[in-house]
Amino acid sequence: MINSGLHEQQAVCSVRNVHHHYGEHQALRGVDLDIRPGRVFALLGPNGSGKTTLFRLLSTLLPIQQGQILIGGFDSARQPLSVREQIGIVFQAPSLDMKLTVDENIACQGALYGIHGTELRQRRDALLEQLDLLDRRGDRCQVLSGGLKRRVELAKGMLHHPRLLLLDEPSTGLDPSARLKLWDAIQEMAGQGIAVLLTTHLLEEADKADEIAIMSQGKLIAEGAPSDLRAEMGEGVITIVANDPARAESILQKALGLTPQRLHHQIRLKVESPEKMVPVLVETLGDEVQSINLGRPSLEDVFITRTGEAFNT
Ligand code: ADP
The CATH number assigned to the domain with range 234-296 reads 3.30.70.260
Extents of the domains making up the chain: 4-225, 234-296
In short, whether 50's Cβ falls inside 6 Å of ligand 1 is yes
Q: Which residue has the CA at smallest separation from atom 25 of ligand 1?
A: 22
In short, whether 133's Cβ falls inside 6 Å of ligand 1 is no
Q: Which residue has the CA at smallest separation from atom 22 of ligand 1?
A: 22
From the CA of 53, how far away is ligand 1's center (Å)? 6
Q: Which of 18, 21, 52, 172 to mutate to test the pocket of ligand 1 (most atoms within 8 A of CB)?
A: 52
Instruction: Tell the CATH topology of 4-225.
Output: Rossmann fold (3.40.50)
In short, whether 53's Cβ falls inside 6 Å of ligand 1 is yes
Residues 33/223, Cβ–Cβ less than 8 Å: yes
Q: Give the mean pLDDT per block of 10 residues along the chain (313 residues).
A: 51 97 97 96 95 97 97 96 96 93 98 96 96 96 96 96 96 90 93 96 92 96 94 87 91 90 87 86 91 89 88 75
**First-to-final CA distance of the chain:** 45
β-partners of residue 16 are: 68
Nearest CA-CA partner of 20 in 49, 46, 53, 45: 53
From the CA of 217, how far away is ligand 1's center (Å)? 10
From the CA of 14, how far away is ligand 1's center (Å)? 22
pLDDT at 313: 63
pLDDT at 39: 96
In short, whether 216's Cβ falls inside 6 Å of ligand 1 is no
In short, whether 45's Cβ falls inside 6 Å of ligand 1 is yes
Residues 213/220, Cβ–Cβ less than 8 Å: yes
> For ligand 1, what atom is nearest to the CA of residue 56?
6
From the CA of 225, how far away is ligand 1's center (Å)? 26
Q: Which residue has the CA at smallest separation from atom 23 of ligand 1?
A: 22
Q: Which of 53, 56, 61, 197 to mutate to test the pocket of ligand 1 (most atoms within 8 A of CB)?
A: 53
From the CA of 288, how far away is ligand 1's center (Å)? 42
> For ligand 1, what atom is nearest to the CA of residue 52?
2
In short, whether 200's Cβ falls inside 6 Å of ligand 1 is no
Four-residue CA torsion sign, 228, 232, 237, 241: negative
Residues 164/87, Cβ–Cβ less than 8 Å: yes
pLDDT at 236: 86
How many CB atoms neighbour CB 158 within 10 A? 23
pLDDT at 151: 95
